Structure 1
Amino acid sequence: MKRSIISKDGVGIAATVIQKRELYLSRVITDLPTLVFVKKGIKSLKQNDLELDIKSGEAVAIAGGQAFDVINRPDAGEFEAAWIAFHPNVIQNYNSNLQTLKDIETAFIFSNITSGFSDAFRLATESITTDKIISDQVAIHRATEILIWLGEYGRKFKVPSPENTSKKVRSFLSSNPGKDWSALEIADRLEMSEATLRRRLSSELSSFSEILIDVRMSLALSLLQATDRSIGEIAREAGYDSASRFAVRFRDRFGYSPTMLRREASRDRNGTILDRVRT
């Protein structure tokens, strides 16, 4: 069976990550609010002084825009986790009538998961990935049910909103990581001069090139972990005509070559497609 990352417009993105041995990945950024359901092994997240271990049968809700160091620890030779990233509109619609639930600022673990949650997660995932005809209304309803389960624990996702220039730039670049972006084009979209853009990014300890590389490497990491696409295809999807240059960038960012990560993450090699959610 093909492994893939699939999105449904206005609903979200779904995928499964599989690893065969423990790997440490630094500063993995979650752009959209995401719920990860660990099925085998342990997922460890670290952000400054915050350290979380999510065990098999538990789930973690991660706020959008968070960066964690991640270790996926296999059990009996395999780690497996499924995730859903929620479209902002789904969260906005669910939150519109809620006042009592506490916002998830970074991440929140919930355990003692019942079969009801497992069934809801399966249906929400299928509503995004299925080839069957499911209306947008039904798909949104199923994704919203996951948010309702989260609400049973007294928590809710905040609606994603770019708060600074770096996040706004990242949002534009994430819409099409493989595009030949320029700082001038992004500055035009933000209705400012290129000099102003670079000055604001510098004040936030960032730069256009750093954000572009990170967005592309984040896409590549997801594709390597959750799909069976070839490394050459992934390099092109991430905006690199040269697979060797892509490999150097990836190793510099995560400390592993794409080949090593793929060897630990894949079962089959049948090829897949990636469809992006449009925000």
Structure 2
Amino acid sequence: MLNCLSKTQTRFVRKLNDIAAHVSIIQASTGTFRHFTVDQPVIIRVRRGWKRAITNELSLETCSGELIFLPQGLECTIVNAVDSHGIYHCDAYALSHDLLREFARPELSAPVQPSKVHSDPDFLLALDRTEAAIHADRSDQEQLNRHIIGELILRLQSMGIRVGAHGEPSLVQRIRTIVKQDPSSDWSSDALAARLAISPATLRRKLAAQATNLTDILADVRMTAALGLLQSTDMPINRIALDVGYESASKFAARFRNRFGLSPHEIRVPQGTIEQSGAEIERSGAAL
């Protein structure tokens, strides 16, 4: 039987301009999310259950109380496992690409792999300061906020962690960023090509050279956005379906199960088990 979560264990999304976000993710079933793309560099602190990030090169498991860093552009398998009470809970601190470019050292830009983070007292204090800055949302202190949160990048690098790509995002990453802002829109190759300042033919050719296409990218961004909304908000499932571009809730549920192996209902902790604390309804980006 599921036990109730405390007020500090509720779903929410808090965003600070274009600098960072703090997302509280709760999941009710163990899930294995294959071919998962990390759209923003993110530090994850597991609160309940455990997480595993698997690439061709390694497999990292993070238990309750531990931290892991996932760099932007990472493609991996993510396993979120519930605890004995049937709950997986983590805090995710997503950092913007611009912040990464400002504070990251170019010589530590590759390879793109997940890394365990040593939770020493100084790093945890920096994480606490980041959380406080995000929740305070003082737009008049943007430069100060950038330095407060940028400290996390500096500390990751001091641990020898390669924080990811330092240059411009790839074409696929740029498309994902655009679509993630409005996944319900009927994105066409013409519309996206115009946003990218290239021709539709060039867009199709470049994607084909990377063994992908616009249809597959759109579907994956929409499903990833839906997963994030299920994990980090209390939006009704039929509303989430509409929010990611599906007028039919049943078709959305079928596509979601086909993509992630779980139904939308299986992601959710049943109603009544989470004490409400004003959870916001926002797009959380990539879910983790």
TM-score band, normalised by shorter chain = 0.7 to 0.9
Alignment of 1:5 onto 2:13 = yes
Question: Of the candidates 103, 106, 110, which is equivalent to residue 94 of structure 1?
Answer: 103
Q: Is the 8 A contact 1:88 1:160 kept in 2?
A: no
Task: State how far apart, in whole Å, the 1-side matches of 2:186 and 2:109 are.
Answer: 40
Q: 1:162 to 1:89 in 2, by over 3 A?
A: closer
AA matched with 1:10: D
Question: Of the candidates 148, 159, 174, which is equivalent to residue 153 of structure 1?
Answer: 159
Q: Give the drift of 1:74.
A: 2.8
Alignment of 1:273 onto 2:270 = no
Q: 1:275 to 1:125 in 2, by over 3 A?
A: farther
Alignment of 1:256 onto 2:262 = yes
| Residue range with higher mean Cα deviation, 194-203 or 65-74 | 194-203
1:8-87 equivalence runs, <5 A = 8-77=16-85, 78-87=87-96
**TM-score, normalising length from structure 1?**
0.86
Task: State how far apart, in whole Å, the 1-side matches of 2:112 and 2:270 are.
Answer: 32
Match of 1:109 in 2: 116
Task: State how far apart, in whole Å, the 2-side matches of 1:224 and 1:62 are.
Answer: 21
Task: State how far apart, in whole Å, the 2-side matches of 1:152 and 1:46 are.
Answer: 24
Q: Give the drift of 1:221.
A: 0.6
Q: 1:132 to 1:168 in 2, by over 3 A?
A: closer
Q: 1:159 to 1:276 in 2, by over 3 A?
A: farther
AA matched with 1:141: H
Q: Is the 8 A contact 1:38 1:59 kept in 2?
A: yes
Q: Is the 8 A contact 2:48 2:83 kept in 1?
A: yes
Match of 1:183 in 2: 189
AA matched with 2:94: A
**TM-score, normalising length from structure 2?**
0.83
Q: How many residues align?
A: 273
> For the aligned residues, what is the CA RMSD?
2.6
Percent sequence identity over matched residues? 28
Deviation readout 1:56-80 (Å, 9 max, x if unpaired): 2221111101122111223332332
Q: Secondary structure at the match of 1:253?
A: helix
